[in-house]
A and B are shown apart, each in its own frame.
Chain A
Amino acid sequence: MEKPSLGRGQPTASGHAASLQFPGCPGSRDFPDAPYRIPPKVAPATACGRAHRRFCELLPQEHRSVEESLQIRVSLEQILSLPELKANPFKERICRVFSTSPTRDSLSFEDFLDLLSVFSDTATPDIKSHYAFRIFDFDDDGTLNRDDLSQLVNCLTGEGEDTRLSASEMKQLIDNILEESDIDRDGTINLSEFQHVISRSPDFASSFKIVL
């Protein structure tokens, strides 16, 4: 049984997210007056410090200084190698949604913090459902159409050929989903309808969580 490679050395402290939420980070409550200036040291014992440490582990040795780590971008493959994301079928979509580069294939530390903040305990269910919608919108057109839904179901059921649903089963399933959640009957699920479905499930907020 493989054990996750996590550092246990630091005492665990607050789980609050960045800026308004991560204390000890640039631009946070500890530096309310400062514009976005890089502080000399990121506080190690906070959640932000843990995130920074994990981010630095992905960088090559020579770029691990604080100033460089806050500017440099990490490629998608390296982020996907994190143990928390490795077994997740949506890992690529998650990285693409949070990436702010023009080609959407690299993450900076800010993007990484965004990701952790949305997946943390302190994000409101509204924010979580908003980002879940964006993750499930495979073609980025603002709605979940039949293609998006079939890709989503394929991610959920497994990659292998024997684990996928048959074409007729898939069609039936997507018809059922649209029947249940497409209130305005336009054939696609928009953000409001998605959030309506999510609000009915109390498990969502606790399962849409990644803990570092």
Chain B
Amino acid sequence: MAQPPAFVFNILETPEDQGQDPSPYDESEVHDSFHQLIQEQSQRAAEEGLELRVLPQREPGPETLGASGSGHQALLGPEGVPDYSTATLRILASMPSRTIGRSRGAILSQYYNRTVRLRRRGSRPPLGGVGRSARPSLRLYDLELDPTAFQEEEKRTLLVKELQGLTVAQRDHMLRGMPLSLAEKRSLREESWTQSGKQRGPQGRRGLLPCCSRLRYACGLALHSLGLALLSALQALTPWRYALKQIGGQFGSSVLSYFLFLKTLLAFNALLLLPLLAFIVGVQAAFPPAPADSVPTFTGLELLTGGGRFSHSVMYYGYYSNTTLNQLCGPPLDGSQCTPEAGGLPYNMPLAYLFTMGMSFFITCITLVYSMSRSFGESYRVGSTSGVHAITVFCSWDYKVTQKWPSRLQQDNIRTQLKNPVSAEREWELLALPLVVCLLNLGAPYLYRGLAALERHDSPILEVYVAICRNLILKMVILGILCYHWLGRRVGALKGQCWENFVGQELYRLMVMDFVFTLLDTLFGELVWRFISEKQRKKRGKPEFDIARNVLELIYGQTLTWLGVLFSPLLPAMQIVKLLVLFYVKKMSLMANCRAPRRPWLASHMSTVFVSLLCFPSFLGAAIFLCYAIWQVRPSSICGPFRTLDTMYEAGKVWVRHLEKAGPRVSWLPWIHRYLVENTFPIYLVSALLLAVIYLNIQVVKGQRKVICLLKEQISNEGEDKIFLINKLHSVYEGKERSRVGRAQEAEMPPTLPADERDAR
């Protein structure tokens, strides 16, 4: 049975105590338990035959310590603030939960504990040499609760010693996370480094030579510096850092999210373009096919229509050859295969086209899903309770805003939010009806406005979401109809001609028109609207930057790119140019014509929504279109790399058959193709596995939610314990005070009583 540790209790009863405000800056306080004192008190109470004073039971009114529903006992002053004595307040102020945010010693202790835990994660502490106590908790040597008075210097030395036991990366990571000043961190790092460099010999257990560890440290340092230099070079390449800061400073995070989304789309297009350039466009440009009979000359109109000279260039599908390039071989003598001469690297163009398209889409898919899941993970947390007040008050101020007017606008927004908060559940319930109505009224834009006037939403955020949904459905339906039109009807109508070129050109034209109309709308529409609103309303009535509509335009443009890349491999390059121009045009128009949005936006939630919209209707639709085009549609017979095949996918099959004939060395590839790709059983297996993983994840999240509830209950119970102990402590102090005052009064009373009192006795 373990001995309870012996605590020393030290009440400072000097008169100076009364005037001082207790603050955790006073580290000289010994914060201990009062076990001995309570024992003393209960002994005295038992001797005097008194019970410990029971505090008056009070009804839990609104003045109790912010509690609701559970009756707490508290001594309350006139304003509802607990009226504790100064000595009690002093002890309260040195409680670990209050000092951790302020005092350096507490922070050092906390990080000492963390470092110890980190170091001991791999190995258990040795059982021998533990000390007198057999309790497992004491083995871990919790510095925060250790009652022996550790000065700050000793805590620091201990921390430095522990830091030396970590690897360099772990040490840096730990130091980076410490909320200390830079000078402190620097000195800690220097001390832990120099001392570990000086230690020789007693590292025998690890068996490391000191020179090797120094060399490793130097190499790590060099690599880290190189990494930092590369990162800074990359950041220097992004030319928009100042522009983004300007926009964020003037218009806030929500408008900034549009421009960040534009930057993300730029990155996606670059990712799509690079494999295409490397494996298709570049190769075909290096080995151009035999020129056609009549190649029209370049006139300026091709930039708008996409036809003419452009039809006979690497721009479109029809230009690409369906043979193996760079195959220098003689005529086949006996119908056997052509053996390439030395120096030539044969390049099977149809195969390359198919595989590169598939690979680019696959990479784009992985990147999209990864970024969507990452932003989703950041936006939504397990165990988030309802209630928006605390989050609004603590997290809603945007420190990036540097101008006076947007700052005042933020204050207005926050005030409105605080006065009329809308909880999340109500929003989703209200969404059900508008969604149903949406689905029933497709393709009727003029009805939308009427409906918006009829539905009176309580929250502006809901209006925005509903508007996004409606416009999105409209655009997707239009694109769906177009796809059906191309793949269903046009293929049949253009039997003898190069229909892929035609589809590519249509998409090119759509993109160009979309770009032109966006430019016109931005340059003139917002300008005209600003003049109209200024004249009409005669106040600062600049139009707001409509984030939802602009983001939908971007997504629409990106969908067009993804739809058309199969038929026009250079379309991403055009999209990149369009996005670059759009950034500057939108920024210019924003600065000149718009003002900061009045409605409060949750910027990170919106980013998640944008990326999800990009992934689900947009990319998924394009991927379905691509799959259908590759698997089911017959390519045209006069142009393109698949002109002799039944479907584009056959290029892969042809190659597999070719490999089968090639010999036993590569027989695993056709085997994989026959049993894993053509067979449907593995697909079912993989789907079943995925479903199982998803279900397990859902169960894990449910379990975590339960654990969070239990922990919250436990913390609340601990809080009640704490209040109980504080009240007991207060009663003890009061008792002491009263007895002290009583003794002082007795000492002050004159030794002889007046005559009548003596008579009365």
Chains A and B come from one and the same complex: yes
A binding-site residues for B, Cβ under 8 Å: 1-2, 4, 6, 8, 11-16, 18-21, 23, 27, 29-30, 32, 35-36, 46, 83-84, 86-90, 100, 110-111, 113-114, 117, 119, 124, 126-127, 130-134, 136-137, 140-143, 146, 149, 152-153, 156-158, 163, 165, 169, 173, 175-188, 190-192, 194, 197-204, 206-211
Given contacts A14-B228, A176-B389, contact A182 B399 (CB under 8 A): no
Q: A119-B399, A197-B394 are in contact. Are A29 and B225 (CB under 8 A)?
A: yes
Within 705-722 of B, Cβ neighbours of A (below 8 Å) are at 712, 715-716, 718-720, 722
Q: Can you offer 26 A-B residue contacts whose CB atoms are under 8 A?
A: A1-B403, A2-B403, A14-B228, A14-B235, A89-B407, A111-B181, A117-B182, A119-B399, A127-B178, A133-B101, A134-B102, A142-B98, A163-B415, A179-B66, A181-B390, A183-B719, A186-B65, A198-B394, A199-B381, A200-B381, A203-B604, A206-B603, A206-B604, A207-B253, A210-B399, A211-B248
* Contact flag A8-B603 (CB < 8 Å), given A100-B181, A185-B66, A186-B719: no
Contact B400 A20, beta carbon cutoff 8 Å = no
A209 vs B652: C-alpha distance in the bound complex, in angstroms?
52
Tell me if B249 and A185 are in contact (CB < 8 A). no
Question: In the complex, are the beta carbons of B177 and A127 less than 8 A apart?
Answer: yes
**Shortest distance from the beta carbon of A49 to any chain B beta carbon, whole Å:** 12
Contact of A4 among B66, B249, B398 (CB under 8 A): B249
Whether a CB of chain A sits under 8 angstroms from the CB of B175 is yes
Residues of A within 8 A of B407 (CB): 87-89
| Contact assessment for A141 and B66 in the assembled complex, using a CB-CB cutoff below 8 Å | no
Contact A202 B604 (CB under 8 A): yes
- How far does the alpha carbon of A21 sit from the alpha carbon of B189 in the complex, in Å? 12
Per DSSP, are chain A's interface residues mostly helix, strand or loop, or mixed?
loop
Q: Which of A100, A142, A194 has the most CB of B within 10 A?
A: A142
Interface of B is mostly: helix
Contacts of B297 in A (CB 8 A): none
**B93→A141 contact, CB < 8 A:** yes
The smallest C-beta distance from A103 to any residue of chain B, in angstroms, reads 14
- By beta carbon, the residue of chain A nearest B179 is A130
A187 adjacent to B411 (CB under 8 Å)? no
Contact for B23 among A1, A131, A141, CB less than 8 A:
A141
Contact B603 A203 (CB under 8 A): yes
CB–CB A201/B185 < 8 A:
no
Q: Is the beta-carbon distance between B391 and A201 smaller than 8 angstroms?
A: yes
A111 to chain B, nearest CB (A): 8
16 further contact pairs, Cβ within 8 A, besides A87-B404, A89-B411, A169-B419: A14-B232, A87-B402, A88-B407, A110-B182, A119-B399, A130-B179, A132-B394, A142-B24, A156-B414, A173-B418, A176-B390, A179-B66, A184-B719, A185-B723, A203-B603, A206-B253
Residue with the greatest number of chain B CB neighbours at <10 A, chosen from A35, A133, A182 = A182
Chain A nearest CB from B512 CB (Å) reads 34
Across-interface contacts of B186 in A (CB, < 8 A): 19-20, 27, 36
- Asked, given contacts A87-B403, A158-B408, A203-B604, whether A180 binds B389 with beta carbons under 8 Å apart, the answer is yes
A27 CB contacts on chain B under 8 angstroms: 186, 190
Q: How far is the CB of B105 from chain A (nearest CB, A)?
A: 13
Mark contacts of B34-73 with chain A using CB atoms, 8 A cut-off: 1 yes-contact digit, 0 otherwise: 0000000000000000000000000000100111101010
Complex CA–CA separation, A124 to B242 (angstroms): 23
| Cβ of B70 to closest chain A Cβ, rounded Å | 7
Chain B 218-232 residues near chain A, CB threshold 8 A:
221, 224-225, 228, 231-232
State the CA gap A61–B516 with chains docked (Å). 53
Which residues on the B side are within 8 Å of A178 (C-beta)?
66
Is the Cβ of A207 less than 8 Å from the Cβ of B418? no
Residues in A with CB closer than 8 Å to B389 are 173, 176-177, 180
